[in-house]
């Protein structure tokens, strides 16, 4: 099938207006090439197409429950989120270049910016970036622009995939990236501090760390500031229902993966990244920004602002090449945050924390070692007395995906990163622990 | 409308969490956050706020949206339904790399692999990745691949060439990969000036980035010559897929000499734009560039699929997993619905619609490049602007008539540019109404150009003060 | 807006069927139909037509909708999601009666059985059916049950008693079951006049149909006396559940002496009204009426569920299967979400909201029965009407202010009735804005009542000519 | 959870405006009764509630495919139908009593009325009734009002459930209903004709019959008209893509089950019924009617018209007690019909017919007898040489629901009513036939 409405008469009439005999005459500038389609067959009806996707979906041999987090989390999504995001006027609109016919999107993004600033205790943010990893990379690039320095210090308890993304973004550019080894699985504050000299543009950390540990980075941030170094962090937004914020710690540029705020896992995307900073740095920020103003009748209005930073105006001198962002995912996050509200997000964070503590206790009772030396939020590392892969596969055979074995990221063969959200019931925790008990 | 923060009242709540089945523990005070300001509203008030907000937007589902260079075609409803199938919606991407878990996500990997294959078939490429999360991200990925390729051959190249009609993302992407950007002017035909190009082509050039048809909606007739010239100095050809919609099924970028391409799936493959994303910018490359593709990568090995998550030559991660998978799922279904004949037919109808609008309007508006266009046409309103009615004024006039305005002031090389892209999904009746409205605007411009300054009148706001916005910088409540 | 038939163009098509995998055969010509006139439109034009049409409506999700006696409360979004679960959506009801197929629809039957039990618990009844497809259909079913009961006892009864404040459906339903309708006037308190009732109560009376609280929003304080009186002559008490929202969790119709009830699930249990249905009108009865319930019937027998599809005493089928099952599914989920405390709390807040509006407005509008109301309050605008501003005028004024008007001219016993039902899901802020608008209308009525005649001004049409509609009778294009 | 927004302060303030100390004071008119809730527990969150429904859904031990029709059909539903029907402004609106803020619903219903009239070749219809069975009952009651006669003749090849519904509606009223035995499974035209005397208000038939047979009833309709008798029919709307219409046959009141027009099976509902008649009878028609008119500025407008027939005005003398109908289901039908359009519905009907003919051929090849003597549309009766129940159960054990054995409705022990729609693939037909072959 296709979605073109023209009848044969329409086409005839229109060709005549175009002074051509047939549509192909309009393609006379193109070289004639034979295209031999082998893979893509004949068009099909939507019924067949949907069933084809359904058949593919059924090929995913689903697990019954899982403890996988590692940056992407399985949280409850309120029904209102899908409902709002599926409104025609939101999801089939374009970037709000024409403010008069885009106040819906513009106001929603302004509200989103407000929510993200409030969540992180920082002052300005954009209307979203691609994801948590690229947001961190953009923050690093931003710090290089701001400081005009050329060295980046990155703690190794930052999500290893994010670190890879940062490396990808940097490896074509003349900057030096130094990664600082952890002490066990915790950040080595002394070592980082030692690296912070006046050549450094920024130091990069994550809180909670990839391993789930929560730290207060304030002291290190203050130390960095004394040397003119920016503090760049990545943060898990759900944790901010309860955990000390980047703003409170004095962070200059906070970033994060927005997935957990009302976006389904969807095998990797779409999600969105956020980047929040201090007002002073707004002109160095990448991405679109919505600002408040007045219209010709002095009525409050919202517009895209500071567009002169962007690629469609500034071209190769732009703050980033980003054009389309993840607006609809940001809208989902806004609806999510409004749905939970101030107390709901706090309660959610507390439940995540409490359930995770419960599981830690159960594992300790089994004689296992929790490797985190710090407070954790809803994720932690458990050490087994045998290869983690063995444990993982044994539970997988029971349709349970038991976290992320850390050898996959160069960690110990015996460690597994375990995540617990509000979706995980006590019953399931007890169940998996009793299976483990029998295995150990 | 009030902000939702202004509608907040302490103690209200929309969403209820399940009660905790374990005892709640207090988080350590010294690590705890400060007061959190998020709206407190009931579910009804939340819904009413956002549904009414949505009603302030124009959208494809409610209005004709001929925004040039943005390809706002119809987004079939079945795509949304397909993306909501729970077995995909709830699938954790880590399953693709966890031990022995590949059969837990076999359907998803198969979809990715099939999409990559079909994308290659449509574009004339050999290998593809779905990891880039938007068109510009695809450009970045593509230029990184090109840079890695040159480096692997110990060829130090410093420049990327773009035409002056290019999208801003082209130079911006090249710049983010550390390249110096060289801009080539367009000739009187609206195409890249080949003589100018020759002057700049040397072994410092890593790539030539082209949009074809270009942003004037014109097919670059010298494209094969340009490819040959670039290749002759060892530079690669990059295809900005923004305008692929005009030629898909008719000719393949790979056959025109391009080495790397990206596709904007919302422009070409019917996925919704979401008011600013999510998009997806899958990238295709010729065989010799395969090793540089980003990781993780889904690859067919014999009868089975593997996920490559480590590769020395790869540019590395540019997203955590498979980019905007659910967007690719929609694009995949769209392509399957169209099939080979639908792909080609869509391009034909897109081009027919643009030429129809161009021919109907060229008696009224100045056409800087008067030749057959492809999927979009660009007028110049500079004469109108002299009379007092700018491209912006025309845009506001159209809003009151219920049309989303065309793209204005782009491409930068056309004064008072007015760039119309009707897309293939619009009917002749819609085009005729739109043409009629523009003719009315032309008449008004001749009779009473001052009247434009009061427009639009039918919207909740009119002509917001953008200077004030940039000066006062109120970017949160 | 144009009719979709006017947008039709021969040869266009929105939906594509899968190609037939068997050879197509021609249907015999002599049995074939004539030319069929249905719209031919593209999918985009179809979507644009209907989405834009929808935008011409007020709705709960976009406006406050205080339509008295209609209970337009918020419809939680999770209900829609639940009703779309494929295992229910695609379930064929015949499975409930096919041989050995009951486990193919076990979940559905369990849901029905649980809903019936909970409905009984909330209303104080013993058995229930979900088969009636709307409130009025529930009334019809209930009166049929009552008639069958009397017949089974060889008691020939000919009359049904209703108060003059009753919904029109009450007398209409009684009449459809062959009863003569006797109307009892209300007393000065707005309640059924017990002395008048006594005059008409005799052994010809099959039932007394009551709404409680009644349509004036007032609780019938003599309800138990009325029940006793009715029962003393062998008549049964029928409870019109339209206003159950006011008392659920506080008192049960069954405990007040009612023998048969129906519930309008959209009014009480949060299911959407759909612009005129589908609703559902489940019926509950006391034990002695069980055998008369319609078939098919889901019944618990020990630990298992059975479907009774034959029963001598039953009134028979009033729908093919289990009425509007998916609507009941939503109502069931709604009740489960609320739980016992939520059910009661909702009634309390509904009543608080109505009393708040009543108290805030009674200084401005005439309140014919000045006492504590339940979930709705009824004003009379007769004095305003004398000044030139009728209830209809007030309604149009409110539309321009973004509020759906209250119910007007009902109940019939109040002149220029203006019946406000805020429901429990509206916030004080919304009520205050609404109250403010009405006060503005009162001021306008005093200062310039003629101004009303031009209202509404903000809508696509204004004051359509209803006489012309009824005279010309154009009911299709 | 509940959906009430008030804070404690709101409640306090509002109580004070109401001159009461606490909310319970507003309930002083109510007798105090203790309610002892046993079954309904504490309120739950939407996440738990949804999972509860999901758990129930999973208890339905699904069949893999089926041949069940018998009045309710499994047709493809275009995705646009759900999309339009889930618009807030359609599905959370009330009956369009206020035309200015209900033109969306009103115009859609006017379009629906047009589509149904065109489909049936009749002149006027209402904005929907409950379902096919009650629509038929209303049509019978209507014929009694129009003719002021007291006898109804009903053919027994009308859907037995509809016949039951008609009987339920009539049994409390002083009318005589006579059902006419079929000849085999076909209507006995002679017998019906014989019954049509001048006491008869209407004769009732179904086309295609419950057994799937298509007849031309024109002659009988003409005969009836000569005696002042109305012809009332029930019709399967999908068949009208191809089958001679009630209007062409001269039918006075046509009714039908609207489910097949874009409404999912949903275990029995919601569906909708339609009732279409001649303009002369419009004032005797039950239900809501939308009419076209002009507004005060002479602009075309739609309103509910002829409300004086309805219960809220006419009370016990109304044409029916119906109040809420099935408006949203009617909207679905409209979108469905517009989506298929004129050619699509014809094509759909032809595919249904062709697939059904294919299956008939296959069954005949197996030596089985098709009992219909007439042309069939997409449903027919096949006779086995052993009890149908046995066949049915054998196939059920392979997760195939093989039609509706007719003994359930007093038919032969050996007959099964088989339905084929466009959803049934040739492959499945072949498959079920080869299973049957092995069994026979």
Indicate which of C4, C13, C18 best probes the interface with A, i.e. most A CBs within 10 Å of its own CB. C18
Coil, strand, or helix at residue B381? coil
In C176-321 the beta strands, taken as DSSP E runs, fall at 180-184, 205-211, 236-240, 260-262, 283-285, 297-301, 304-308
Tokens of D202: 């209407």
Q: What percent of chain A has pLDDT over 90?
A: 94
Residues D212-264 have pLDDT tens digits of 999 999 999 999 999 999 999 999 999 999 999 999 999 999 999 999 999 99
In A124-279 the beta strands, taken as DSSP E runs, fall at 124-125, 151-155, 176-180, 200-207, 230-235, 253-257, 273-277
Contact C476, D114 (CB under 8 A): yes
Domain D79-337 top-level CATH class: alpha beta
Nearest-by-Cβ selection for A5 from C15, C42, C76: C42
* Predicted pLDDT of residue B23: 97
Distance CA D251, CA D274 (A): 14
Q: Is the pLDDT of residue A115 over 90?
A: yes
Residue where the block lists tokens 């589908």 = C278
Domain boundaries, chain A: 65-75+342-439, 79-337
Query: Same domain for C177 and C319?
Result: yes
Chain C: nearest CA to A432, how far in angstroms? 28
Query: Same domain for B385 and B331?
Result: no
Mean pLDDT across D38-55: 97
Cβ atoms within 10 Å of A434's Cβ, excluding its own: 12
pLDDT confidence of B100, banded at 50, 70, 90?
Answer: very high
Which of 5-24 (A) contact C at CB < 8 A?
5, 7-10
- Final residue before a domain boundary, out of C304, C321, C337: C337
Query: Same domain for B328 and B365?
Result: no
Chain D: nearest CA to A84, how far in angstroms? 10
Query: Same domain for B176 and B236?
Result: yes
More confident residue, D68 or D311: D68
Contact A277, A123 (CB under 8 A): yes
Which letter, b or e, does each residue of C414-427 get, where b requires 16 or more Cβ atoms within 10 Å of its Cβ?
bebbbbbbbbbbbb
Question: Interface pTM (ipTM) of the complex?
Answer: 0.97
pLDDT confidence of C182, banded at 50, 70, 90?
Answer: very high
Contact A49, B333 (CB under 8 A): yes
Distance CA A321, CA A309 (A): 10
Q: How many separate domains does chain B show?
A: 2
Contact D262, D326 (CB under 8 A): no
Within B124-152, residue ranges assigned H as helices are 135-152
Distance CA A155, CA A204 (A): 6
Q: Which long-range contacts (CB under 8 A, 24 or more apart) does D23-27 make?
A: D23/C348, D23/C349, D23/C351, D23/C352, D24/C348, D26/C348, D26/C351, D26/C352, D26/C355, D26/C372, D26/C374, D27/C247, D27/C250, D27/C348, D27/C351
Say if the Cβ atoms of A88 and C76 lie within 8 Å. Answer: no
Query: Same domain for C350 and C325?
Result: no
Distance CA B459, CA D93 (A): 24
Residue where the block lists tokens 């500034």 = A314
Within D78-131, residue ranges assigned H as helices are 79-85, 88-91, 103-120
* Closest by Cα among A135, A176, A142 to A158: A135
Tokens of D106: 């009103």
Nearest-by-Cβ selection for C28 from D269, D347, D375: D375
Q: What is the mean pLDDT of chain D?
A: 97
Distance CA B415, CA B406 (A): 15
- Final residue before a domain boundary, out of C337, C353, C371: C337
* Residue C24: inside a domain: no
Residue of A nearest to D80 (CA): A46
Taking domain D65-75+342-439, whether its CATH number is 3.90.1150.10 is answered by yes
* Closest by Cα among A292, A313, A288, A311 to A301: A292
- Using DSSP, how many helices (H) and how many strands (E) does chain C show? 15, 12
Confirm or reject contact between C352 and chain D (CB < 8 A): yes
* Residue B257: inside a domain: yes
**Taking phi first (over 0 means left), then psi (-120 to 50 degrees means alpha), and beta for anything else, what does residue C456 get?**
beta
Query: Same domain for B183 and B277?
Result: yes
Q: What is the DSSP letter of A292?
A: E
Other chains touching D, judged by 3 or more CB pairs under 8 Å: A, B, C
* Residue B3: inside a domain: no
Tokens of B246: 């005009």
* Closest by Cα among C219, C218, C195, C223 to C208: C223
* Residue C404: inside a domain: yes
Residues A198-224 have pLDDT tens digits of 999 999 999 999 999 999 999 999 999
Cβ atoms within 10 Å of B53's Cβ, excluding its own: 23
Distance CA D105, CA D303 (A): 10
Residue of B nearest to D5 (CA): B42
* Predicted pLDDT of residue A314: 84
* Predicted pLDDT of residue D120: 98
Strands B159-163 and B205-211, sheet pairing: parallel
Confirm or reject contact between B17 and chain D (CB < 8 A): yes
Mean pLDDT across B208-217: 97
Which of 77-116 (D) contact B at CB < 8 A?
79-80, 82-83, 88
pLDDT confidence of B282, banded at 50, 70, 90?
Answer: very high
* Closest by Cα among A244, A182, A180 to A375: A244
Indicate which of B29, B209, B320 best probes the interface with A, i.e. most A CBs within 10 Å of its own CB. B320
Evaluate if pTM is beyond 0.80.
Answer: yes
With contacts defined as CB-CB under 8 Å, which chain C residues touch A9?
11
* Residue B216: inside a domain: yes
Say if the Cβ atoms of A83 and C45 lie within 8 Å. Answer: no
With contacts defined as CB-CB under 8 Å, which chain D residues touch A46?
78-79
With contacts defined as CB-CB under 8 Å, which chain A residues touch B55?
89, 104
* Predicted pLDDT of residue A430: 98
Q: What is the DSSP letter of C19?
A: P
Distance CA D26, CA D34 (A): 18
Mean pLDDT across D66-95: 98
Say if the Cβ atoms of C11 and A83 lie within 8 Å. Answer: no
Distance CA A251, CA A269 (A): 27
* Residue B456: inside a domain: yes
Q: Is the pLDDT of residue A342 over 90?
A: yes
Other chains touching A, judged by 3 or more CB pairs under 8 Å: B, C, D
* Predicted pLDDT of residue B69: 92
Query: Same domain for C196 and C206?
Result: yes
Q: Which residues contact B345 (CB under 8 A, 6 or more apart)?
A: A2, A4, B249, B338, B424
* Predicted pLDDT of residue D311: 86
* Residue C246: inside a domain: yes
Residues C194-244 have pLDDT tens digits of 999 999 999 999 999 999 999 999 999 999 999 999 999 999 999 999 999
Query: Same domain for B436 and B452?
Result: yes
- Final residue before a domain boundary, out of B337, B361, B376: B337
- In what order do the strands lie in the sheet containing B283-285? B127-129, B283-285, B260-262, B236-240, B205-211, B159-163, B180-184
Domain assignment of residue B121, given as a range:
77-337
* Closest by Cα among B209, B188, B185 to B197: B185
Indicate which of A55, A65, A76 best probes the interface with D, i.e. most D CBs within 10 Å of its own CB. A76
Say if the Cβ atoms of D240 and C88 lie within 8 Å. Answer: no
Query: Same domain for B130 and B237?
Result: yes
CATH code of residue C324: 3.40.640.10
With contacts defined as CB-CB under 8 Å, which chain A residues touch D79?
46, 50
Compute the radius of gyration of chain C from its Cα atoms: 25
Return the sign of the alpha-carbon dihedral for residues B294, B295, B298, B304: positive
* Closest by Cα among D182, D223, D173, D174 to D203: D223
Helix (H) or strand (E) holding D312: helix D311-314
Mean pLDDT across D268-285: 97
Query: Same domain for B203 and B321?
Result: yes
Confirm or reject contact between A200 and chain B (CB < 8 A): no
* Residue C207: inside a domain: yes
Contact B146, B320 (CB under 8 A): no
Tokens of A61: 């041999």
* Closest by Cα among A171, A318, A143, A322 to A233: A143
Which of 178-237 (B) contact A at CB < 8 A?
178, 181, 218-219, 221, 224
Q: Is the pLDDT of residue D9 over 90?
A: yes
Contact A112, A335 (CB under 8 A): no
CATH code of residue C418: 3.90.1150.10
Chain D: nearest CA to C430, how far in angstroms? 11
**Taking phi first (over 0 means left), then psi (-120 to 50 degrees means alpha), and beta for anything else, what does residue A121 get?**
left
Chain CA centroid to CA D160, Å: 14
Q: What is the DSSP letter of A397?
A: T
Q: Is the pLDDT of residue A34 over 90?
A: no
* Predicted pLDDT of residue A317: 87
* Predicted pLDDT of residue D315: 87
Query: Same domain for C328 and C404?
Result: no
Residue of C nearest to A89 (CA): C51
With contacts defined as CB-CB under 8 Å, which chain A residues touch C47?
88
């Amino acid at each position: 099938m296709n979605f073109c409405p023209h009848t044969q008469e329409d086409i005839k009439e229109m060709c005549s207006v175009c002074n051509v005999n047939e549509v192909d005459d309009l393609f006379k500038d193109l070289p004639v090439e034979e295209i031999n389609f082998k893979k893509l067959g004949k068009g099909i009806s939507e019924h067949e197409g949907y069933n084809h996707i359904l058949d593919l979906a059924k090929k995913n041999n689903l697990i019954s429950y899982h403890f996988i987090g590692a940056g992407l989390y399985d949280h409850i999504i309120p029904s209102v989120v899908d409902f709002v995001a599926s409104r025609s006027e939101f999801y089939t609109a374009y970037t709000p270049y024409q403010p008069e016919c885009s106040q819906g999107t513009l106001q929603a993004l302004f509200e989103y910016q407000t929510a993200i600033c409030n969540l992180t205790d920082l002052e300005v943010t954009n209307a979203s970036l691609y994801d948590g990893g690229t947001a961190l990379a953009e923050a690093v690039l931003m710090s290089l622009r701001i400081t005009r320095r050329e060295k980046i210090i990155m703690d190794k308890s930052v999500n290893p995939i994010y670190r890879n993304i940062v490396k990808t973004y940097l490896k074509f550019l003349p900057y030096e990236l130094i990664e600082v080894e952890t002490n066990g699985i915790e950040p080595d504050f002394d070592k980082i501090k030692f690296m912070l000299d006046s050549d450094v543009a920024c130091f990069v950390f994550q809180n909670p760390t990839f391993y789930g540990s929560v730290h207060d980075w304030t002291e290190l941030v203050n130390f960095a500031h004394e040397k003119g170094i920016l503090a760049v962090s990545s943060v898990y937004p759900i944790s901010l229902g309860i955990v000390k914020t980047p703003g409170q710690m004095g962070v200059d540029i906070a970033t994060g993966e927005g997935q957990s705020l009302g976006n389904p896992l969807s095998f990797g995307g779409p999600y969105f990244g956020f980047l929040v900073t201090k007002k002073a740095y707004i002109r160095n920020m990448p991405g679109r920004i919505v600002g408040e103003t007045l219209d010709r009748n002095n009525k409050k209005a919202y517009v895209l602002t500071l567009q002169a930073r962007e690629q469609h105006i500034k071209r190769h001198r732009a703050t980033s090449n980003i054009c389309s962002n993840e607006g609809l995912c940001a809208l989902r996050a806004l609806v999510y945050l409004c749905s939970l509200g101030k107390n709901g997000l706090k309660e959610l964070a507390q439940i995540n924390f409490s359930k995770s503590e419960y599981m830690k206790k159960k594992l300790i009772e089994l004689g296992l070692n929790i490797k985190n030396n710090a407070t954790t939020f809803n994720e932690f590392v458990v050490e087994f007395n045998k290869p983690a892969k063995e444990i993982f596969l044994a539970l997988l055979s029971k349709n349970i995906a038991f976290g992320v074995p850390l050898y996959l990221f160069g960690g110990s063969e015996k460690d597994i990163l375990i995540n617990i959200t509000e979706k995980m019931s006590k019953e399931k925790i007890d169940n998996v622990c009793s299976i483990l008990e029998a295995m150990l | 409308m009030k902000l939702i923060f202004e509608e907040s009242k302490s103690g209200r709540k929309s969403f209820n969490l399940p009660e905790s089945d374990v005892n709640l523990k207090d988080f350590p005070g010294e690590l705890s956050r400060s007061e959190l300001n998020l709206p407190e509203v009931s579910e009804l008030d939340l819904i009413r706020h956002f549904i009414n907000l949505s009603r302030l937007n124009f959208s494809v589902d409610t209005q004709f949206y001929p925004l040039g260079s943005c390809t706002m075609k119809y987004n079939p409803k079945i795509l949304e339904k397909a993306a909501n199938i729970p077995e995909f919606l709830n699938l954790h991407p880590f399953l693709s790399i966890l031990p022995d878990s590949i059969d837990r996500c076999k359907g998803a990997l198969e979809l990715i692999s099939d999409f990559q294959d079909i994308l290659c078939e449509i574009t004339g490429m050999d290998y593809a990745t779905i990891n880039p999360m938007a068109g510009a991200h695809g450009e970045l990925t593509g230029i990184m691949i090109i840079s890695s390729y040159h480096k692997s051959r110990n060829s130090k190249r410093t420049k990327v060439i773009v035409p002056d009609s290019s999208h801003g993302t082209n130079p911006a992407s090249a710049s983010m990969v550390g390249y110096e950007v060289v801009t080539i002017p367009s000739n009187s035909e609206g195409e890249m000036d080949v003589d100018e190009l020759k002057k700049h082509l040397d072994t410092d050039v890593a790539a030539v980035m082209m949009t074809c048809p270009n942003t004037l909606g014109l097919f670059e007739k010298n494209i094969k010559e340009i490819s040959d010239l670039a290749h002759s100095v060892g530079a690669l050809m990059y295809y900005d897929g923004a305008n692929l919609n005009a030629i898909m099924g008719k000719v393949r970028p790979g056959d025109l000499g391009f080495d790397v391409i990206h596709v904007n799936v919302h422009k070409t493959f019917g996925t919704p734009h979401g008011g600013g994303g999510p998009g997806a910018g899958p990238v295709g490359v010729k065989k010799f560039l395969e090793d540089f593709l980003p990781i993780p990568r889904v690859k067919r090995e014999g009868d089975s699929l593997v996920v490559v998550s480590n590769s020395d030559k790869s540019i590395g991660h540019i997203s955590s997993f498979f980019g905007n998978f659910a967007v690719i799922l929609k694009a995949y279904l769209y392509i399957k619905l169209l099939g080979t004949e639908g792909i080609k037919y869509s391009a034909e109808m897109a081009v027919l619609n643009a030429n129809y609008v161009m021919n109907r309007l060229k008696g009224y508006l100045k056409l800087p490049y008067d030749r057959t266009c492809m999927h979009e046409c660009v007028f110049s309103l500079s004469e109108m602007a002299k009379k007092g009615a700018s491209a912006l004024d025309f845009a506001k006039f159209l809003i009151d008539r219920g049309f989303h305005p065309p793209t204005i002031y782009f491409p930068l090389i056309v004064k008072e540019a007015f760039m119309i892209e009707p897309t293939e999904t619009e009917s002749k009746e819609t085009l005729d109404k739109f043409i009629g409205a523009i003719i009315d605007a032309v008449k008004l411009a001749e009779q009473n150009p001052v009247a434009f300054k009061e427009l639009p009148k039918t919207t909740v706001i009119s002509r917001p003060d953008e200077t004030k916005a940039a000066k006062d910088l109120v970017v949160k409540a």
